């Protein structure tokens, strides 16, 4: 009886490394964001805002980096699948990455920058800067960036959920991914962001690690 030779050791190592990197992005990124959002600065006064300016700045720098990785994680959810829902998810998550990153830079990093540099000013100067910084993300172009970015996140997650459901995923990840989309509509600071990225983490973990999940390696499958 003919025997099948095992793949070369180098090939096995490449596959193992790919799986590790995939899971670091797919599972590690949403978990990191879920925890990070708990510590989002939410000052209630001028003094708190100026005092938290340094952390406000660095928080959004970290979040900006993780935004790129969470977009990649959404892409990896449907890796190996094809169809209209997959295409919609991938286009939408690209829009999210661009617009949410722009919003994060303008409303987050910029706000932190001006607040931390207001520490040496008089109380009147700090108050003026604080009020301007806090009101900046209001009904403006910056607010529009947030609306488009968050809307694209919802579309991307719902489309990914539909694609995965059609590919045979169970109802649990389907529901969790939709919740991950909806919860971010409440804003990314705790509790909205923690709930959104926490649901994403649970869905991805379910898909990757549960028996019968859609983990790598996947064959390309048309699901629309």
Express each pLDDT in 50-86 by its tens digit.
999 999 999 999 999 999 999 999 999 999 999 999 9
CA angle 33, 82, 6 (to 5 degrees): 85
Residues in Cβ contact with 120 at an 8 Å cutoff, skipping those fewer than 6 apart: none
**pLDDT digit string, tens, across residues 159-189:** 999 999 999 999 999 999 999 999 999 999 9
Q: Is the pTM of this model over 0.75?
A: yes
Q: Contacts by 136-143 with C-beta closer than 8 Å and gap 24+?
A: 136/106, 136/107, 136/110, 136/111, 137/103, 137/106, 137/107, 137/111, 142/103, 142/106, 142/107
Task: State both tokens at 102.
Answer: 């722009």
Quick check: 92 and 155 in contact, CB under 8 A?
yes
* Angstrom distance (rounded) from CA 177 to CA 13: 31
Nearest alpha-carbon partner for 152 in 197, 198, 88, 201: 88
Which pLDDT does position 129 carry in this prediction? 87
> Bridge-partner residues for 222, per DSSP?
82
Task: State both tokens at 170.
Answer: 């169970």
Quick check: 145 and 106 in contact, CB under 8 A?
yes
Please say whether the dihedral angle defined by the alpha carbons of residues 15, 222, 177 and 165, taken in this order, is positive or negative: negative
Helix (H) or strand (E) holding 221: strand 221-222
Q: How confident is the model at residue 217 (pLDDT cuts 50, 70, 90)?
A: very low
Average pLDDT on 80-102 reads 97
Nearest alpha-carbon partner for 123 in 44, 41, 45, 43: 45
């Amino acid at each position: 009886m003919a025997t099948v030779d095992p793949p070369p050791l180098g090939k096995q190592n490449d596959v193992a490394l790919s799986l590790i990197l995939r899971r670091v992005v797919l599972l590690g990124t949403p978990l990191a964001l879920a925890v990070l959002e708990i510590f989002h600065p939410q000052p209630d006064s001028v003094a708190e805002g100026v005092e938290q300016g340094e952390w406000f700045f660095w928080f959004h720098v970290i979040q900006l980096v993780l935004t790129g990785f969470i977009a990649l994680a959404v892409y990896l959810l449907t890796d190996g699948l094809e169809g209209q829902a997959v295409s919609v998810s991938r286009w939408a998550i690209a829009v999210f990455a661009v617009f949410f990153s722009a919003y994060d830079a303008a409303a987050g990093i910029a706000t932190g920058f001006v607040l931390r540099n207001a520490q040496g000013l008089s109380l009147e100067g700090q108050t003026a800067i604080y009020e301007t910084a806090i009101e900046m993300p209001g009904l403006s172009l910056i607010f529009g960036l947030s609306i488009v970015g968050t809307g694209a996140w919802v579309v991307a997650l719902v489309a990914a959920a539909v694609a995965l459901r059609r590919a045979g995923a169970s109802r649990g990840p389907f529901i969790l991914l939709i919740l991950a989309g909806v919860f971010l509509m409440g804003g990314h600071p705790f509790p909205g962001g923690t709930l959104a990225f926490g649901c994403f983490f649970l869905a991805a973990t379910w898909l990757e690690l549960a028996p019968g999940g859609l983990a790598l390696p996947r064959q390309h499958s048309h699901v629309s």
